[in-house]
């Protein structure tokens, strides 16, 4: 099969090499999936660089999620799954940037019929992360104000849609004017361009000085510090990632004085700690997709040949929504 493998760590454009290798076979509890579409995530970039918390042995095929057809099942897995169109998380080193990927059978779900392959591929990580951040961790309520950082990105676009579906007023922060259009089209009530505008002042003005009830932060560093200046009384800041490259320290005296909560989110951990909640979330996401309330934004679709350059664009922070590989 064809696959994009990382043989030497580095920037995606250098690290991803197109190779012909044997298609992997599923082990006990696993399925092999013929990939219809794979979605890119920022952790794929970090894995190419060797900077993610998960460091597969070289060589490995990255790609943590996909939509595809089950073509083989391992020991202990029902044959009835064969032929089903599913979305799921992969088992590295056999990721989804390949014609065939391996997935734990416990982590595959029927692909929503309302979504095409690339959209379905982008449903799992981004929308599950958004849903667990907003609902399970922050308990967002209708009418609350949600501030979303990196709002035109993969998890950010999901957070905008899920915030609107939850009845929140959404303020989205982006880094450029084209991204402003993306966030507005997804339903954000107010969009802030962080390169020319001050999100703290805009959040305060929009909320009559109260601040945002929930802040979704995949960026960290200075963005986190500024977020603490516009968090509401009893607000919740959800720590989702550190795309700024800086893992910030937290001033707990400030959290005490202003009565706000700082919540960590590691969505992947729910897959082992509470798999039933992940399944229930997927049911909810499927129903939101089927009713048209969420549609993963797939901005680019690529073949193997153009995928390394596309992944480099993701690394450079210039993409919007999700990129999809169609093997």
Which residues contact ligand NAP by CB under 6 A?
A: 41-43, 125, 129, 150, 152-156, 174-175, 179, 194, 218-219, 223, 240-244, 265-268, 314, 317, 319
Instruction: Tell me how far, at minimum, the Cβ of 123 lies from ligand NAP, in Å.
Output: 13
* In contact, 222 and 246? CB cutoff 8 Å: yes
- Cβ proximity to ligand NAP, 300 vs 319, nearer residue: 319
Q: How far is the CB of 176 from ligand NAP (least distance, A)?
A: 6
Min CB(241)–ligand NAP separation in Å: 3
* Cβ proximity to ligand NAP, 4 vs 73, nearer residue: 4
Q: How many CA atoms lie within 13 A of 219 on its CB side?
A: 24
If the CB atoms of residues 70 and 148 are measured against ligand NAP, the closer one turns out to be 148
The helix or strand, by DSSP H or E, that contains position 207, with its residue range, turns out to be none
Q: Measure CA of the first residue to CA of the last residue in the chain; give whole Å.
A: 10
* Cβ-closest position to ligand NAP: 153
Distance CA 120, CA 157 (A): 15
DSSP letter for 136, please: I
- Closer CB to ligand NAP, residue 141 or residue 316? 316
Quick one: which H or E segment has residue 30?
A: strand 30-39
Q: How far is the CB of 29 from ligand NAP (least distance, A)?
A: 23
Shortest Å, Cβ 319 to ligand NAP: 6
Helix axes 154-165, 177-185, angle to 10 degrees: 40
Find the shortest distance in angstroms from Cβ 174 to ligand NAP.
4
Query: Closer to ligand NAP at the Cβ: 96 or 319?
Result: 319
Determine what percent of the chain falls in helix, strand and coil, rounding each to the nearest 5: 35, 25, 40
Return d(Cα 149, Cα 216) in angstroms, integer.
6
Query: Which is closer to ligand NAP, CB of 93 or CB of 221?
Result: 221
**Nearest residue to 324 via CA among 68, 8, 1:** 68
């Amino acid at each position: 099969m064809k696959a994009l493998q990382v043989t030497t760590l580095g920037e995606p454009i250098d690290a991803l090499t197109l190779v012909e290798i044997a298609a992997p076979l599923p082990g006990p509890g696993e399925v092999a999936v013929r990939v219809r579409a794979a979605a890119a995530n920022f952790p794929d970039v970090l894995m190419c660089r060797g900077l993610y918390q998960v460091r597969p042995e070289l060589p490995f095929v990255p790609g943590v999620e996909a939509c595809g057809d089950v073509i083989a099942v391992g020991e202990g897995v029902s044959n009835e799954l064969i032929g089903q169109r599913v979305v799921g998380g992969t088992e590295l080193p056999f990721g989804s940037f390949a014609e065939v990927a391996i997935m734990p059978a416990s982590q595959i779900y029927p692909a929503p019929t309302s979504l095409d392959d690339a959209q379905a591929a982008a449903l799992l990580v981004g929308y599950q992360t958004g849903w667990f951040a907003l609902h399970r961790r922050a308990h967002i309520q209708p009418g609350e104000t949600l501030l979303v950082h990196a709002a035109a990105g993969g998890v950010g676009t999901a957070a905008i849609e899920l915030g609107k579906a939850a009845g929140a007023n959404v303020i989205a922060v982006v880094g450029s004017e084209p991204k402003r259009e993306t966030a507005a089209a997804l339903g954000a009530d107010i969009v802030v361009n962080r390169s020319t505008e001050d999100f703290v002042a805009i959040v305060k003005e929009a909320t009559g000085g109260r601040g945002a009830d929930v802040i979704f932060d995949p960026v960290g560093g200075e963005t986190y510090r500024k977020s603490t200046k516009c968090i509401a009384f009893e607000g919740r800041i959800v720590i989702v990632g550190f795309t700024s490259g800086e893992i910030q320290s937290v001033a707990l005296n400030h959290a005490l004085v202003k009565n706000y909560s700082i919540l960590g989110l590691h969505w992947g951990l729910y897959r082992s700690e509470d798999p039933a909640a992940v399944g229930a979330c997927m049911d909810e996401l499927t129903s939101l997709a089927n009713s048209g309330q969420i549609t993963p934004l797939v901005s680019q679709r690529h073949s193997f040949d153009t995928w390394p350059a596309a992944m480099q664009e993701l690394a450079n922070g210039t993409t919007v929504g999700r990129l999809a590989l169609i093997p």
